[in-house]
Amino acid sequence: MNADGRSRLNQRPEWTALAQHREELGEVRLRELFEADPDRGTGYTLQVGDLYVDYSKHLVTDETLRLLRELAAATDVFG
């Protein structure tokens, strides 16, 4: 636990779930993700103003994003 009474990030159950998910993706290749989802190149992008982020070429799935949102919510990232 941190000095402010909050648990360490890597001790949270949401972090553990994300780490387990990463292990499950261990043998998955990007090529397989693109073959499974032909729209991946456009579906895994984000634009905010002039900032354009293409995360399609990272080992990220819908489940990864869901788990990241859960971790963000649990740690009150958005205030």
30-77 pLDDT, tens digit each: 999 999 999 999 999 999 999 999 999 999 999 999 999 999 999 988
Q: Is 28 helix (H, G, I), strand (E, B) or coil?
A: coil
Tell me the pLDDT tens digit for each residue of 18-34: 999 999 999 999 999 99
**pLDDT given at position 8:** 85
Six-digit token pair at 20? Answer: 């387990």
Structure tokens at 18: 């994300």
**pLDDT top residue among 6 and 35:** 35
Question: What is the β-pairing status of strands 51-54 and 45-48?
Answer: antiparallel
pTM of the model: 0.81
